Amino acid sequence: MSNFPNSIVALAAMLERGWESYRAQGEFDLFVEFTLSLNGLTEQLHRQHLPGLVRACQELENTALTFFADREMHPIPLDQAIAIERKLSIILGELRRHETPAILARRVLDTAEGNTGEGWKQPRRVVIVARDGHPWSASLAEQLGFFGFTPEAISWDAQPASEEPPLAITFIPDTEGRAYPPAAIAAIVALRTRFPTSYFYCLSVPSNLQSIVLLQRAGADACVPVGNKVSDVLSRILDLVEMHEQEMHRVLIVEDSATAVAHIRRSLSQHGIDSRAINDPRQLLEVANEYRPDAILMDMYMPFCTGVEVTSALRQIPEFQALPVIYLSSETDIVQQVEALRLGGDQFLTKPVNPIILASVVKTKIERYREMLYSGQHDSLTGLLNHSTSKSQVERLLQAALPDGELVVAMIDIDRFKMVNDTYGHPVGDQVIRSMAWLLRGRLRNTDLIGRYGGEEFIVALADIEPAHAIRLLEQIREDFSQLPHAHAQGTLRTTFSCGVAALPTYRSASALIGAADDALLEAKRAGRNRIISA
């Protein structure tokens, strides 16, 4: 969570300045600017998978929006301004907390070459609130520990020791399937006040609206229904920390008016969207190939040709066939607009475009587009990269590492997996595959490549690490996996994996690295399984 990109730090600073200007001058337009910056920050935090902070920002946005409709309300009354200021300072304080010297130092340690195994363990605290000795509490704590979290179990009347907000807090009621008693609700409210940005899971919530609404009011982010197992909760927590840092949204603006460009870029940047502009459509292909936009904002009428002509030409090129194109025009003729959409555009916006609508259309289109790309690149059972994307990403890592860098490729295959399926059934086998994926996700860095290469075969590629260090790390994962209990109808089972490793500079192409790691894996199987062999 400490790894905030500069865009967030910059947006937070802009937000703070925006609020200070509004407080000093009390003008409605400054208030609108402040709210827009807040909305931009919320979006960024959302992309970084920081639901606690997103929630805090959304609450503040809702408060701010109540002063949006009427210019005459400004400057807003002092008590309301103080209430906003209080919420804002909690958010800014939370953002700053992640930039303290200790955390910056830890970040350096995490990325330094030759770091110890400890440096890889990401500090993710999860607090479990339950009565002393609750069986779920121990089992959840054990599982969380396996997947690289630091669990802290406390009773309902206790408080977590550290002031540092935990990533998540899970509440386990004493009696399954009943409404949470008032004392439990009060405990949730108290923790919510202390930790406004952590994610709150309430377990065993009966499926009636009244219970859910009460818990949401108290501060619950997710209500997990009665009957869901500890593994379901774990899966949700893991999804929460799936912090593969998404890249910023990128928009290419094709527009010949410098004023329009300035207006659009400003609106986009307030929403955390990066943009680049060209005034001559003939530059489009060259710039698109280099900048790799997620969407194009296209002026309809330009000197050399029309936006529609450019778009239909763009659609002839395979990589850009699905790229969202949003037309901008002062055209109000519906027939013309429909024709423009028919010829390859995705949306039509009439100039001058309201900045909030522009940003929201752009974001929606980009998110759909990225989802489409994501589902084509990821495996649905585990969320890991799929076979073909893993291969191309190894190639990318290799190109970045050559000529003198480090790259280690490991192939991992679960042992005697057919027996797991045959004995306990396919769904249990699926859960074992998922646990393997979770363990890798929990233990490796965000920058490492983790893919599902085949049914029960995984590929891992680690850059900037010495082979000996990578093997020590994989040995630890192998050891832990062999002790990980997997639930089935009659109890739990344990299983192991075998692994083959190959590294630069001995193998110097992606196919040589993967092939050698695969051969080493076969050797590990032959030598008795549950071991790692280096090519």
Ligand X SMILES: Nc1nc2c(ncn2[C@@H]2O[C@H](COP(=O)(O)OP(=O)(O)OP(=O)(O)O)[C@@H](O)[C@H]2O)c(=O)[nH]1
Q: Of 35, 52, 34, 47, which Cα lies nearest the Cα of 7?
A: 47
Largest Cα–Cα separation, the chain: 79
Structure-block tokens of residue 203? 């377990």
Return the ∠ at Cα 150 (arms to 146 and 155), rounded to 5°. 115
Among 130, 278, 433, 459, binds ligand X (CB under 6 A): 433
286 as an active site residue: the answer is no
Helix axes 6-25, 28-47, angle to 10 degrees: 160
Distance between the two ends of the chain, CA-based, in angstroms?
A: 36
Among 148, 429, 451, 467, binds ligand X (CB under 6 A): 429
Nearest to ligand X of 115, 421 (CB atom):
421
Q: Of 259, 245, 349, which Cα lies nearest the Cα of 296?
A: 349
> Which string of x and - marks every residue 108-137 that binds ligand X (by CB under 6 A)?
------------------------------
The one catalytic residue in 33, 94, 255, 456 is 456
CB of 454 to ligand X, least distance (A): 7
Indicate whether 263 belongs to the interface with ligand X (CB under 6 A): no
CB of 382 to ligand X, least distance (A): 9
CB of 425 to ligand X, least distance (A): 8
Indicate whether 74 belongs to the interface with ligand X (CB under 6 A): no
**In the window 174-203, what residues touch ligand X (CB under 6 A)?**
none
The closest residue (CB) to ligand X is 455
Indicate whether 386 belongs to the interface with ligand X (CB under 6 A): no
Helix (H, G, I), strand (E, B) or coil at 406: coil
Among 29, 242, 430, 479, binds ligand X (CB under 6 A): 430
**In the window 451-470, what residues touch ligand X (CB under 6 A)?**
455-456
Dist CA 63 CA 55 (whole Å): 13
Dist CA 352 CA 343 (whole Å): 23
CB of 461 to ligand X, least distance (A): 21
CB of 496 to ligand X, least distance (A): 9
**In the window 405-424, what residues touch ligand X (CB under 6 A)?**
413-418, 421
Dist CA 525 CA 423 (whole Å): 21
Indicate whether 479 belongs to the interface with ligand X (CB under 6 A): no
Indicate whether 494 belongs to the interface with ligand X (CB under 6 A): no
**Residues whose CB is less than 8 angstroms from the CB of residue 502 and which lie 6 or more positions away in sequence, other chains included:** 408, 409, 512, 513, 514, 515, 516, 517, 520, 534, 535
Chain residues in the site for ligand X (CB under 6 A): 381, 413-418, 421, 426, 429-430, 433, 455-456, 525, 529
Catalytic amino acids? 456
